[in-house]
Chain A
Amino acid sequence: MFTQIFFIYCALMIIASSILAISFRNPIHCVLMVLVLFFHMAGLYLTLNAEFLAAVQIIVYAGAILVLYLFVLFLVSLRDEIRLIPFIANAWIGRAVSAGLAGVLLFAVLPSFTIGEKGRWTVEAVREVTHTKAIGQELYTTYLLPFEIAGLILLVALLGGLVLARRERGESDDEEVSADTTHPGSTPIQEEVS
């Protein structure tokens, strides 16, 4: 009973904070909302008996990654937003479509969802070998290939970020100076934004 209430609380908070995270204007507020979101994600892991994942979620995501985000946001003074011409002009159409989509999904999934076959790792089996060991074993045996691909994705993300953020030699140096006289040490990310 308690688990269910806790789950519903976490689930509702996740939805609410993620909607708020994409609707706030101030990027700092968005990041703080994502922080709330990550804490409740950790709560969800706890209901699944995954204590290690919950701890990792808080330490890595909430502790490290979001703090980095905050650093970047504070260092880069975002003066103007990029504005793209939306595919559909009226935002309410999008909201109606997404609400409808959510409704249809709930209507389709909730009544007829049946849980598939349980795998090898039942709660008892995990308790027996301890959670961390079970994760480690599975990660480096059964899921070795996806694990390595995920590593490659991180490399690509690093490379791509570097490529996009780097100032090109001889590229609009004077433009840069005239635009950023007040911020001589501005980071290259600004280039992408402006």
Chain B
Amino acid sequence: MIVPAAIDWSVIVPILPELLLVGVAIVLIGLDLFFPDQRQLLPWLTIVGSLCALIMVLGARPAVGFGGMFLLDGYAVVFKTICLATVIMTALMSEQFRNLIRMRQGEYYSLLMLSLVGMLLIASAGDLMVLYLGLELMALPIYALVGLHKQGRWTSEAAVKYFLTGGFASALLLFGMSLLYGLTGTTDISQIAEAISVRQLAGNSAMLAALGLCLVGCCFKVAVAPFHFWTPDVYEGAPTVITAFMSVAPKAAGFALFGRIFFFGLPHLHDHWGPILAVLALLTMAVGNITALCQRNLKRMLAYSSVAHAGYAVLGLLAGTAEGMAATMTYLVIYLFMNLGAFAILMLLTSADGSGDTLDDCKGLATRHPLAAAMMLVFLFSLTGIPPTGGFIGKFYLLKAAFMAGYTLTVVGAVLFSAISAYFYLRVIRYMYMNDPVQQTGLVASSGMYATLVLCLLGVLGTGIFPGSLLNWTVALLAGL
């Protein structure tokens, strides 16, 4: 006999923002399919949906859903905010760039939305299974987005490369997770941490193998050297607006994954993963910054710079403390503004055939469009880490966290590589202000592009001038676990 079970609908309350976004994604597909004349509505629907989700996330109370599989804690709120803000700004920038290179609109926005749902799930995952499925849900739409613009010369190659390396990384991560499950008998992250301390698995070599596999998988996802090989090719080959999105949101989600596994799941193994991450962070900063020195292509340079910034962000994580985690989260918020800003200017420079992203193209930008040049100046200063921009504050907190945890050598290295990075960031500024323009045409920016640029500028300067408020926010949220 079938007994109809009474369904308690209140369990879906914590997951409402995700459900809203799934709904928006499905409406986007339907709208694109059945009302082709109303396509100008798609970006606005995306933006409004994400904004509603953002308000819901920020206003939500801490909650646990689905028997601990879904955690709505402060940690999740910060990462969700970063991902939602990135998608909103990407959607604002998209129309202009899409029209410029004549990329098909089609399922662009719905793929963006579904990828966003994956990121939000990673941020909230309390269980390895949700974590992994969220990761796949995030990655699959991005593979498709990279290959969306088929006229591009390198897009197909970039998509294939991204797909293969991404799949490989997922497999390694999954192998590590399966070992973790075998050793502890549970997939719940907090119970894994508990089982490790109760059963004293910290020194077990099978545990270390699991740790290594998870570490490699996570490093692939956030492009930490020596697992960064895919980054420059993929970032250069993808349409610039996708690159901007990819360099911020999936990276932040990757750090959310990193934190969920290592900071929450394996804190007892910090003696093992802390030093490894310290070495990897140094290597990443070295590779990213030094390779960026010899790039003539601005997009590729920003790709290497994003590798280097992953290295900085790891500094907070490797400390293994709540302050360190808060510093990484703070840095990712600042990175969102400065990196999206720099990519937005790059998009303004891009011409219809997709070229226009070399260093020569930014020559004399100050005479072509003084405002854009001034904004680029601020973003590049911030990426270098020069006060009073947010980049300085973010790096300062990261270095402080790593220093307090005793990684003095890594901190010294980070400062050195940061100084090296000044050369290639400031070189762009020199070209913008000291050289005569190659092209005389002015730049046109849509209102959405302007809105993004203004938001990024406010973010970079605001976090730089009022440094305490952002850190206090992340620390308070993380402490209220």
Residues of A within 8 A of B (CB): 82, 84, 87, 104-105, 108-109, 111-119, 142-146, 149-150, 152-153, 155-157, 159-164, 166, 168, 171, 191-192
Partner of A156, one of B114, B182, B184, B209: B114
A110 vs chain B, min Cβ distance (A): 8
Q: Which residues of chain A come closer than 8 Å to B114, judged between CB atoms?
A: 152, 155-156, 159
Q: Is the interface of B mostly helix, strand, loop or mixed?
A: helix
Please tell me if the beta carbons of B144 and A149 are within 8 angstroms of each other in the complex: no
Partner of A118, one of B136, B181, B185, B213: B185
Please tell me if the beta carbons of A112 and B204 are within 8 angstroms of each other in the complex: yes
Please tell me if the beta carbons of B185 and A163 are within 8 angstroms of each other in the complex: no
A145 to B104, CA, bound (A): 33
Q: Which residue of A lies closest to B133 (CB)?
A: A149
Q: Which residue of B lies closest to A109 (CB)?
A: B206
A166 to B161, CA, bound (A): 20
Number of interface residues of B (CB under 8 A): 53
Cβ-based interface call for B205 (8 A): yes
Please tell me if the beta carbons of A108 and B141 are within 8 angstroms of each other in the complex: no
Q: How many A-B contacts are there with CB distance less than 8 Å?
A: 114
Stretch at the interface among B62-70, B264-272, B311-319: B62-70
A168 to B133, CA, bound (A): 31
A164 vs chain B, min Cβ distance (A): 5
Cβ-based interface call for B143 (8 A): yes
A114 vs chain B, min Cβ distance (A): 7
Please tell me if the beta carbons of B209 and A163 are within 8 angstroms of each other in the complex: no
In the complex, 12 of the A-B residue pairs with CB atoms within 8 angstroms, ordered by the A residue number, are: A87-B229, A113-B206, A114-B201, A116-B185, A117-B195, A152-B114, A153-B136, A159-B144, A160-B140, A160-B144, A163-B148, A192-B147
Partner of A146, one of B133, B150, B229: B133
Q: Which residue of B lies closest to A113 (CB)?
A: B206
A118 to B182, CA, bound (A): 10
Please tell me if the beta carbons of A117 and B184 are within 8 angstroms of each other in the complex: yes
A116 to B204, CA, bound (A): 13
Please tell me if the beta carbons of B106 and A163 are within 8 angstroms of each other in the complex: yes
A114 to B184, CA, bound (A): 9
Cβ-based interface call for B282 (8 A): no
A94 to B181, CA, bound (A): 29
B466 vs chain A, min Cβ distance (A): 38
B185 vs chain A, min Cβ distance (A): 3
Q: Which residues of chain A come closer than 8 Å to B209, judged between CB atoms?
A: 104-105, 108-109
Please tell me if the beta carbons of B107 and A159 are within 8 angstroms of each other in the complex: yes
Q: Which residues of chain B come closer than 8 Å to A109, judged between CB atoms?
A: 179, 205-206, 209
Please tell me if the beta carbons of A112 and B144 are within 8 angstroms of each other in the complex: no
Cβ-based interface call for B20 (8 A): no
The 4 lowest CB-CB distance pairs between A and B, nearest first, are A116-B185, A160-B144, A117-B185, A108-B209
A79 to B121, CA, bound (A): 41
Please tell me if the beta carbons of A192 and B156 are within 8 angstroms of each other in the complex: yes
Please tell me if the beta carbons of B160 and A82 are within 8 angstroms of each other in the complex: yes
Please tell me if the beta carbons of B121 and A116 are within 8 angstroms of each other in the complex: no
Cβ-based interface call for B130 (8 A): yes
A146 to B205, CA, bound (A): 30
Please tell me if the beta carbons of B204 and A162 are within 8 angstroms of each other in the complex: no
Please tell me if the beta carbons of B186 and A117 are within 8 angstroms of each other in the complex: yes
Q: Which residues of chain A come closer than 8 Å to B121, judged between CB atoms?
A: 149
B250 vs chain A, min Cβ distance (A): 14
Partner of B205, one of A108, A150, A171: A108
A163 to B22, CA, bound (A): 18
Please tell me if the beta carbons of A145 and B130 are within 8 angstroms of each other in the complex: yes
Most B CB atoms within 10 A — which of A82, A109, A117, A118?
A109
Q: Which residues of chain B come closer than 8 Å to A113, judged between CB atoms?
A: 182-183, 206
Please tell me if the beta carbons of B181 and A145 are within 8 angstroms of each other in the complex: no
Please tell me if the beta carbons of B184 and A116 are within 8 angstroms of each other in the complex: yes
